[in-house]
């Protein structure tokens, strides 16, 4: 627990494409502020410092070890996370890090073990579960209104041009499951509980990319519920459904459909009702990104609230290992053509 009356001072690393959402959000988060920003590209670091009124900027993440920071927000791509988190762990600085934690489960396990051994808290910036629609859906499930959950379907299928804003995805070998599938696997665990077996088929639909741009996963959850999780950047529809996650959750007493336009349709013996989740109305959000952008301040506020109170993060590195094990199992299943049990990959979490 960090018990201080002043704002916690953070270092922000990675002034790239997604950083503007974090930086706008930090200005809203209560109890924290960004004191310095770092990017190995000096122009990016300086421009972001100017735009967001950050007093200090630099190019070397070793500035993390100055003793002046209460936390670090790492907003770089996955292959850089192990080294950056190691710096934070050496410095004893709590971490919030963008998904994906790392490209494979072995690296995630190393990152988590080192942080745990040093007693340094690490949270994954896993913002999908912090979307308003999924907070409300979780409330409905927890209320018992549709009874014990037996089935789920979560899908993200659109053809947004991710390659212009995130050109590194063209070369990413573990692409769709790590980029969007990881959000869906976290949501599946959030809504249906932990899962123990995965089957998966991957597809590379777009020509000229290094990895898969579509994946269809089938999960067996610990309470025997089954879920289908499918993700694709190669699904052509008008209007484009980006960035909506659609689907349904069935329980023994009813069903909740997750429909277009942020609508939850709840079916129970008492009848049917719709709940529409409106956008928060921030000045810095814009379509089609609003639903995602609105979730970022909630994610970061959760990190700060937990740091201040000593509570566990919902998406701590330790808890998230269960999500990354599902992703690893999905790749293993896609490569071997068989169902993969989590117990084959990790004996115990
Ligand atoms: N949660 C979401 O909804 C969401 C959406 C988009 C992207 N992301 C994730 O955000 C992360 C960042 O994505 P992006 O598209 O902004 O990447 P990007 O490549 O545009 O930006 C990363 C920045 O980090 C800098 N950087 C990399 N290594 C560094 C180091 N060691 N020290 C200092 N600076 C360093 C780079 O110079 C670059 O400016 C990715 O992991 C991506 O998956 C999440």
The pLDDT of 188-200, averaged and rounded, is: 98
- Edge to edge, what strands does the sheet with 56-58 contain? 56-58, 32-38, 8-13, 71-74, 95-98, 122-125
Nearest C-alpha to atom 5 of ligand 1 is from which residue?
18
196 lies in the same domain as 304: no
Where does the pLDDT of residue 348 fall: very low under 50, low under 70, confident under 90, or very high at 90 and above?
Answer: confident
Cα–ligand 1 centroid distance for 15 (angstroms): 7
The pLDDT of 89-94, averaged and rounded, is: 98
Cα–ligand 1 centroid distance for 348 (angstroms): 31
Closest C-alpha among 186, 265, 263 to residue 227: 186
Tens-place pLDDT, residues 235-269:
999 999 999 999 999 999 999 999 999 999 999 99
pLDDT on residue 135: 98
**Taking 80 as the threshold, does the pLDDT of residue 4 lie above it?**
no
Stated length of the chain: 349
Token digits for 279? 């956008």
pLDDT on residue 5: 72
CA quadruple 60, 98, 102, 307: dihedral sign:
positive
Cα–ligand 1 centroid distance for 341 (angstroms): 31
29 lies in the same domain as 102: yes
Q: What is the CATH number of the domain that holds 22?
A: 3.40.50.720
Burial class of residue 127 in the structure, from the number of CB atoms within 10 Å of its CB (0-12 exposed, 13-18 middle, 19+ buried): buried
97 lies in the same domain as 170: no
Phi, then psi, of 249 in degrees rounded to 5: -125, 125
The Cα–Cα gap between 180 and 212 comes to 11
**Taking 60 as the threshold, does the pLDDT of residue 349 lie above it?**
yes
Cα–ligand 1 centroid distance for 77 (angstroms): 4
The pLDDT of 167-189, averaged and rounded, is: 97
* Domain contains 212: yes
Which atom of ligand 1 lies closest to the CA of 126? 1
Cα–ligand 1 centroid distance for 3 (angstroms): 30
Closest C-alpha among 111, 180, 154 to residue 258: 154
Closest C-alpha among 342, 266, 326, 255 to residue 100: 326
Nearest C-alpha to atom 25 of ligand 1 is from which residue?
14
Pocket residues: Cβ below 6 A from ligand 1? 13-19, 38-41, 44, 61, 75-78, 80, 84, 98-99, 127, 166, 168, 179, 292
Instruction: List helix spans (H) across the chain.
Output: 19-28, 42-52, 81-91, 105-118, 132-143, 162-165, 176, 182-192, 290-309, 317-336, 342-345
Which atom of ligand 1 lies closest to the CA of 183? 1
Please give the share of the chain, as a percent, with pLDDT higher than 90. Answer: 98
Asked if residue 259 lies in contact with residue 186, where contact means CB atoms within 8 angstroms, the answer is no
Average model confidence (pLDDT) for the chain? 97
Cα–ligand 1 centroid distance for 81 (angstroms): 10
80 lies in the same domain as 226: no
121 lies in the same domain as 228: no
Closest C-alpha among 249, 233, 243 to residue 189: 249
Cα–ligand 1 centroid distance for 80 (angstroms): 9
Which atom of ligand 1 lies closest to the CA of 178? 43
190 lies in the same domain as 83: no
Closest C-alpha among 86, 90, 79, 74 to residue 38: 74
Number of independent structural domains in the chain = 2
The Cα–Cα gap between 307 and 244 comes to 30
54 lies in the same domain as 95: yes
Tens-place pLDDT, residues 43-75:
999 999 999 999 999 999 999 999 999 999 999
* Domain contains 210: yes
108 lies in the same domain as 63: yes
Which atom of ligand 1 lies closest to the CA of 59? 33
* Domain contains 20: yes
How many Å separate Cα 98 from the centre of its chain? 7
* Domain contains 3: no
157 lies in the same domain as 95: no
Full residue range of the structural domain in which residue 169 is found? 129-288+323-344
pLDDT on residue 270: 96
Nearest C-alpha to atom 19 of ligand 1 is from which residue?
16
162 lies in the same domain as 279: yes
Q: Is the pTM of this model over 0.85?
A: yes
The Cα–Cα gap between 311 and 92 comes to 18
**Taking 80 as the threshold, does the pLDDT of residue 2 lie above it?**
no
Q: What is the CATH number of the domain that holds 163?
A: 3.30.360.10
* Domain contains 2: no
The Cα–Cα gap between 62 and 93 comes to 12
CA quadruple 196, 197, 203, 208: dihedral sign:
positive
The pLDDT of 300-314, averaged and rounded, is: 98
Nearest C-alpha to atom 1 of ligand 1 is from which residue?
127
Which residue is it, tokens 């808290």? 121
**Taking 80 as the threshold, does the pLDDT of residue 3 lie above it?**
no
18 lies in the same domain as 138: no
52 lies in the same domain as 142: no
The torsion region of residue 193 among left (phi > 0), alpha (psi -120 to 50) and beta comes to left
pLDDT on residue 343: 97
Cα–ligand 1 centroid distance for 42 (angstroms): 15
């Amino acid at each position: 627990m960090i018990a201080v009356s002043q704002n916690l001072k953070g270092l922000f690393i990675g002034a790239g494409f997604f950083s503007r959402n974090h930086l706008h959000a930090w200005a809203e988060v209560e109890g924290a502020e960004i004191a310095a920003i770092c990017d190995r590209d000096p122009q990016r670091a300086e421009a972001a410092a100017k735009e967001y009124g950050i007093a200090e900027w630099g190019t070397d993440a070793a500035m993390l070890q100055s003793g002046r920071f209460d936390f670090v927000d790492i907003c770089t791509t996955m292959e850089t996370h192990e080294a950056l988190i190691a710096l934070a762990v050496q410095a004893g600085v709590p971490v919030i890090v963008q998904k994906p934690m790392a490209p494979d489960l072995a690296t995630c396990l190393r990152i988590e073990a080192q942080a745990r051994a040093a007693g340094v808290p690490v949270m994954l910036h896993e913002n999908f579960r912090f979307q308003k629609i999924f907070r409300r859906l979780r409330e409905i499930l927890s209320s018992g209104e549709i009874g014990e959950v037996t089935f789920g379907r979560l899908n993200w299928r659109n053809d947004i041009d991710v390659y212009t804003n995130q050109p590194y995805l063209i070369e990413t070998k573990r692409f769709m499951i790590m980029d969007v599938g990881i959000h869906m696997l976290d949501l599946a665990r959030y809504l249906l509980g932990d899962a123990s077996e995965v089957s998966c088929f991957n597809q590379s639909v777009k020509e000229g990319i290094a990895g898969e741009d579509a994946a269809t996963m089938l999960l067996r959850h610990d309470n025997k519920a089954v879920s289908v999780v499918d993700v694709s950047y190669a699904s052509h529809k008008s209007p484009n459904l980006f960035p909506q996650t659609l689907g349904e959750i069935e329980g023994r007493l009813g069903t909740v459909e997750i429909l277009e336009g942020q609508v939850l349709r709840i079916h129970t013996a008492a009848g049917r009702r719709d709940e529409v989740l409106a956008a928060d109305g921030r000045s810095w959000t814009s379509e089609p990104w609003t639903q995602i952008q609105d979730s970022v301040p909630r994610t970061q506020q959760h990190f700060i609230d937990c740091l201040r109170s000593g509570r566990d993060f919902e998406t701590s590195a330790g808890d998230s290992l269960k999500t990354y094990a599902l992703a690893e199992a999905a790749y293993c299943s896609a490569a071997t053509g068989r169902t993969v049990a989590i117990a084959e990959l990790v004996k115990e979490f």
